[in-house]
Amino acid sequence: MTRRPLRRLATTGLGSGALALSLLAPISGATEPADATARAGQRVQAPRTVVAGSKIAVKGKVATRGGVKRPVRLTIKKGKKWKVVAKTRATKKGTFRIRTAAGSKVRKIKLRLVAPRHRGMKAFSRRFSVRVLAPVAPRSATGISESWSGSPAVLGGQGPTVTGQVTGSEVAGRSVVVQQQLGTEWFPVTSVTSGADGSFVAALPTTWLHTTPVRVVVAETPTALGATGAATGVAVTPSWVPQGSDASAWTHIEPGYRWRFNPCETIEYRTNLTGAPAGAREALASALTEVAQATGYEFVHLGDSDGIQKPAAGYSGIPADTELLIGFLRDEWTGNDYSGNVMGRGGPDSGFRAQDALGAVYRSRSATAFLDLDPTPMPGWTPQLMRFVFMHEITHALGLGHSPDGSQVMGPSSGNIAHLGVADLNGLNQQGRQTGCVTDVPRRATGSLLVEAPVPLP
């Protein structure tokens, strides 16, 4: 699988303390043999850089015995000599903290931490350098005002649009990012650059159906703080009129459990259209397009395969690189029951224990959606019927069960349904991108992570 451009947001700014002291790093260069130092567990940690006017804080551990509080000195190199600038004593366990002023000059300071020979314990020292940087001037404040229009938008049409103004002393050329909340996290959707007067306009894409909070964030700069606007709700609605009136009339494929692919990754699929009727590939492409619009999933075709759903002896199964296998088969090619009027079967094959914004979930590792080449009685595979059954079985593969509503794709229907209905869309919406990413549970928390799925549903 590959990561899609849907990314969790990383913190872009530094906390106030980060300007005064960088991350601590171990210092090398002990004056005694390395093996002796390792046995004693002696170490020194110090910042690589500090800001002029701040303190240089050093911590670590020196060898000790019998609970003796060993003397520790911090020295600075002045010409060819070392001058003591701070003294302390280690704790009974040998840990210590010691500080000295960085001074007001921008420079590189050479320091040495010394634990002198004491009560039979060998002397220990470490040399290191700290660079003193110029103070950073306080950054100016940034404000933002915005207004939204065009919501709800229609799938494939003009998206919800935000018009706004960056305010403050630095307004031109600012990076303005529109973020969308999926599950409990915020993700970047689109970005623009503010004009000379701080104005900006940004439109959201309308490639999938959703109702989500969005907000505008002005990125910080070295001289100006960032700003975050208020969250507001936007929606993208179908370009068709969904059938049905009860949006709750959908089920999970396994009662009491949820199966989902991770919408923050692509779904890589292969097709087995051996012996498929004319127009099968086009019908499948159309079905996948509508399912992608309903979920926000991104399907990536890896090519064709000879794999079969639960293959009989002599037939291949799901390829190792494939997350979703779609195609046609005959009854004798599979161990699943395609007798009677079963026109197809679909569902997850296996998955992993995971978590999402709604709680425990199985993250699908692989799934299948297959149509029967010889259903009884044979209805005649028209492009419209193939599209409908593909959509039905792929929706099973994504984790949905049957609907009691005959007007839904997932309901008891003969196949005269052109588009997903209100319950279909509601269920797929919860399975898809709007609910956010899926995160695997650590193995130590659950034992075995791999879970076998129920038999694919017709």
Assign residue 310 a region: left if phi > 0, alpha if psi is -120 to 50, beta otherwise? left
Return the closest-CA partner of residue 420 out of 231, 221, 249.
249
Predicted confidence at residue 17, as pLDDT, reads 33
Compute the distance between CA of residue 89 and CA of residue 114 in angstroms, rounded to an integer.
11
Compute the distance between CA of residue 406 and CA of residue 5 in angstroms, rounded to an integer.
37
DSSP 195-230: -TTSEEEEE---SS-EEEEEEEEEPP-SSB--EEPP
pLDDT at 449 exceeding the cut of 70: no
pLDDT at 245 exceeding the cut of 70: yes
pLDDT at 21 exceeding the cut of 90: no
Predicted confidence at residue 458, as pLDDT, reads 73
Q: How confident is the model at residue 414 (pLDDT cuts 50, 70, 90)?
A: low
Q: Using CA atoms of 164, 167, 171, 177 in order, give the dihedral in degrees to the nearest 10.
A: -40
Predicted confidence at residue 104, as pLDDT, reads 92
Residues in the chain: 458
Long-range CB contacts (within 8 A, 24+) of 228-233: 228/144, 229/144, 229/145, 229/146, 229/164, 231/181, 232/148, 233/151
pLDDT at 355 exceeding the cut of 60: yes
Predicted confidence at residue 444, as pLDDT, reads 61
| 270 contacts 325 by C-beta, under 8 angstroms | yes
Q: How confident is the model at residue 340 (pLDDT cuts 50, 70, 90)?
A: confident
Q: Which of 27-31, 373-377, 401-405 has the lowest mean pLDDT?
A: 27-31
| 306 contacts 272 by C-beta, under 8 angstroms | yes
Q: Which two tokens stand for residue 146?
A: 């915005």
Alpha helices (H) in 13-53, listed in sequence order = 34-40
Q: How confident is the model at residue 305 (pLDDT cuts 50, 70, 90)?
A: very high
Average of per-residue pLDDT across 121-144: 93
Q: What are phi and psi of 379, to 5 degrees?
A: -85, -15
Helix (H, G, I), strand (E, B) or coil at 245: coil
B/e letters for 439-452, b = 16+ CB within 10 Å, e = fewer, are eeeeeeeeeebebe
B/e letters for 327-357, b = 16+ CB within 10 Å, e = fewer, are bbbebebbebebeeebbbbbbbbebbbbebe
Long-range CB contacts (within 8 A, 24+) of 75-80: 75/111, 75/112, 75/113, 75/114, 76/100, 76/109, 76/110, 76/111, 76/112, 77/109, 77/110, 77/111, 77/112
Compute the distance between CA of residue 265 and CA of residue 127 in angstroms, rounded to an integer.
47
Predicted confidence at residue 93, as pLDDT, reads 92
Return the closest-CA partner of residue 350 out of 452, 254, 440.
452
pLDDT at 110 exceeding the cut of 80: yes
Whole-model pTM: value is 0.73
Predicted confidence at residue 375, as pLDDT, reads 79
Cβ neighbour number for residue 211 with a 10 Å cutoff? 13
List of residues 6+ apart from 292 with CB closer than 8 A: 208, 298, 299
Return the closest-CA partner of residue 142 out of 227, 212, 223, 84.
227
Mean pLDDT of the chain: 89
DSSP letter, residue 283: H
How far from the centroid of its chain's Cα atoms is residue 87's Cα?
48
Predicted confidence at residue 218, as pLDDT, reads 98
Predicted confidence at residue 40, as pLDDT, reads 55
Cβ neighbour number for residue 114 with a 10 Å cutoff? 19
Task: For 231-240, write each residue's pLDDT tens digit.
Answer: 999 999 999 9
Q: Which of 96-105, 276-285, 435-444 has the lowest mean pLDDT?
A: 435-444
Q: How confident is the model at residue 332 (pLDDT cuts 50, 70, 90)?
A: very high
Compute the distance between CA of residue 390 and CA of residue 280 in angstroms, rounded to an integer.
9
Q: How confident is the model at residue 199 (pLDDT cuts 50, 70, 90)?
A: very high
Alpha carbon of 89 to those of 63, 64, 66, 95: distances in Å?
A: 12, 11, 15, 9
Measured over the CA atoms of residue 288, residue 238, residue 236 and residue 397, the dihedral's sign is negative
Q: How confident is the model at residue 447 (pLDDT cuts 50, 70, 90)?
A: low
Assign residue 183 a region: left if phi > 0, alpha if psi is -120 to 50, beta otherwise? left
Q: Which of 5-19, 31-45, 125-139, 401-415 has the lowest mean pLDDT?
A: 5-19
